Amino acid sequence: MPLVRIDLSSTRPPAMRRAIADGVHRALVDAIGIPAEDRFQIVTPHAPDELIFDPNHLDVAREDIVYVQITLVTGRRRELKLDLYRRIAANLTEVGVRAGDVFVTLTENALDGWSAGDGQAQLVDLQSVAGTENQQAT
């Protein structure tokens, strides 16, 4: 169960924003193995001066950054995360974002940190989450 925040420039047209959101989601499905329907995303367009970034920190060339902040249930192996970053960048490149402009942050939280609606904590009942080894105790 991921929640994805995407903050990008309002100069990117709505169709591109949607394609970016699609690309991030597809990467999560392909890298982490979440179900395709496990999609929850918040897109926030910003005036260009609201997105502040260094144009070449860590030898990455940035011009028009796309911030992707993912909250995800804990437990995925490092290889899956690294694959996720590669896939997000690759998918976004396909829709016209420079690879250097794809900035991703991943924060992990607990299995009991989620309610997907109806006041229930669905993951606690499931006790098993795609991409993790198996059940998680708390």
Please state at what angle helix 78-94 crosses helix 14-32, rounded to 10 degrees.
Answer: 150
Task: State the Cα–Cα distance between residues 120 and 55, nearest whole angstrom.
Answer: 43
Task: State the Cα–Cα distance between residues 34 and 26, nearest whole angstrom.
Answer: 10
Which residues in the 97-136 window bind a second copy by CB under 8 A?
99-110, 112-122, 124
**Which residue from 19, 23, 41, 129 is in contact with a second copy, where contact means CB under 8 A?**
41
Residue 23 CB coordination number (10 Å): 23
Which residues in the 49-68 window bind a second copy by CB under 8 A?
49-54, 56-58, 60-62, 65, 67
Of 2, 13, 35, 45, catalytic: 2
Residue 35 CB coordination number (10 Å): 10
Q: Which is nearer to a second copy, 56 or 128 (CB)?
A: 56
Question: Which residues are CB-neighbours of 42 under 8 A, at least 6 positions away?
Answer: 3, 4, 5, 6
**33 binding a second copy? (CB under 8 A):** no
**Which residue from 12, 16, 26, 39 is in contact with a second copy, where contact means CB under 8 A?**
39
2 in catalytic set: yes
Report how many residues bind a second copy under the rule CB under 8 A: 67
From the list 40, 36, 9, 19, the residue with the least C-alpha distance to 93 is 19
Query: Which residues bind to a second copy, rule: CB under 8 A?
Result: 3, 7, 14, 17-18, 21, 35, 37-46, 49-54, 56-58, 60-62, 65, 67, 69, 71, 78, 81-82, 85-90, 99-110, 112-122, 124, 138
